[in-house]
């Protein structure tokens, strides 16, 4: 692999619900990665059988806050999320490496 396809796992309350109910895991992935590359990377890294991959590109958003130095405006980065459905017999433990 010339580039890192899986950037990091996405663990939130909403994704934890997906893990329990649908056996679906979420990742932040490289923007140029396609579904086939994502599937191969997850299967190789975690040793599971991937049934399907859904992707979405999150757009940038404006962020602003007021600080002691004044009003600061900025934008968040756009990112690509991948929702990977794993077979019922397999699970991924994100906390095993900690």
Beta-bridge partner residues of 50: 86
pLDDT tens digit string along 43-89? 999 999 999 999 999 999 999 999 999 999 999 999 999 999 999 98
Question: pLDDT value at position 3?
Answer: 73
User: Given a cut of 70, is residue 2 above it in pLDDT?
Assistant: no
CA contacts within 13 A on the Cβ side of 37: 13
Alpha carbon 19 to chain centroid, angstroms: 13
Pairwise CA distance, residues 16 & 24, whole Å: 9
Tokens representing residue 24 in the block: 């679906």
Domain ranges of the chain: 6-86
Where does the pLDDT of residue 5 fall: very low under 50, low under 70, confident under 90, or very high at 90 and above? Answer: very high
Span 6-86: which CATH code? 3.30.70.330
Looking at residue 69, the DSSP 8-state letter turns out to be T
First to last CA, the chain: 24
Pairwise CA distance, residues 26 & 53, whole Å: 10
């Amino acid at each position: 692999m010339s580039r890192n396809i899986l950037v990091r796992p996405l663990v939130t309350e909403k994704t934890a619900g997906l893990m329990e109910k649908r056996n679906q895991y979420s990742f932040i992935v490289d923007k140029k990665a396609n579904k086939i590359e994502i599937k191969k990377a997850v299967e190789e890294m975690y040793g599971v059988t991937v049934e399907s991959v859904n992707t979405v590109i999150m757009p940038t958003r404006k962020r602003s806050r007021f600080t002691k130095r004044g009003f600061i405006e900025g934008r968040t980065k756009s990112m690509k999320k991948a929702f990977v459905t794993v077979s019922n017999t397999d699970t991924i433990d994100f906390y095993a490496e900690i």
